Amino acid sequence: MAYGDGLYGALLFGDSADNGITPDATPPDLMGYLPSYWHSIRDMVELQTTLAEELGLTLSAAADLADQFYVSTATWGLTQWEREFGLTTDPSMSYEWRREIVLAKLRGHGTVTRQMLIGVAASFSGGEVDVLEYPGEYRFVIRFIGVLGVPANMAGFIAMLDQIKPAHLSYSFLFTYTTWDMVSELTWQEASAKTWSQLRIYEGG
């Protein structure tokens, strides 16, 4: 099974998250803090309106800056996170995918253990993961069991895995797909309306 065939259960994973969303810059109502007799003075209203617009932009910029200190909310700050961990910045990738790579790098520090591999894989898949070890064969298998299909950013995950795993160990993947029992509730008409790829990651409901 090639990992790049695009079969992924999007029910548990999004590839764009909050791309392009900036903190709210709505101007606060400064006139609401002043006594009512100021509300009829045009110069005061204009002054407070201008101040409110600037304050709204300042608060928005401060909130946006604070977001960059956390990988899970960083946007333009991801470049600094990637530089810190020696990762290549690829602006064509979504923020969500870039965050996954940074988080995996964070989780990949220290001695590589089964639990570490599970954590790194889970950060990419968005679901439950198991790692099967075969010490005598110098290999391990990563089994994605919390989602159906192939995680969208497998290329990024493989690149990260190659960086943190011991060089002498090989690895492979197991993916979960829909069984016949899981789609038996569908009528023939409902099933025929879906592609083979959709049926392979069908979760019912």
pLDDT in tens, 35-55: 998 998 999 999 999 999 999
Predicted pLDDT at 204: 41
Helix (H) or strand (E) segment spanning residue 144: strand 139-144
Percent of the chain at pLDDT exceeding 70: 69
Exposure string over 175-188, b if 16+ CB within 10 A, otherwise e: bbbbeeeebeeeee
Predicted pLDDT at 194: 46
Helices (H), the chain: 42-67, 78-84, 95-107, 114-125, 154-164, 180-183, 188-192, 196-200
Residue 108 to residue 115: CA distance in whole angstroms: 10
Residue 205 to residue 203: CA distance in whole angstroms: 7
**Spatial contact of 143 and 126, defined as CB atoms under 8 Å apart:** no
User: CA nearest 95: which of 32, 15, 33, 154?
Assistant: 15
Q: What is the mean pLDDT of residues 50-79?
A: 92
Predicted pLDDT at 185: 56
Which segment of 45-54, 71-80, 149-158, 171-180 scores lowest on mean pLDDT? 171-180
What mean pLDDT is reported for the chain? Answer: 74
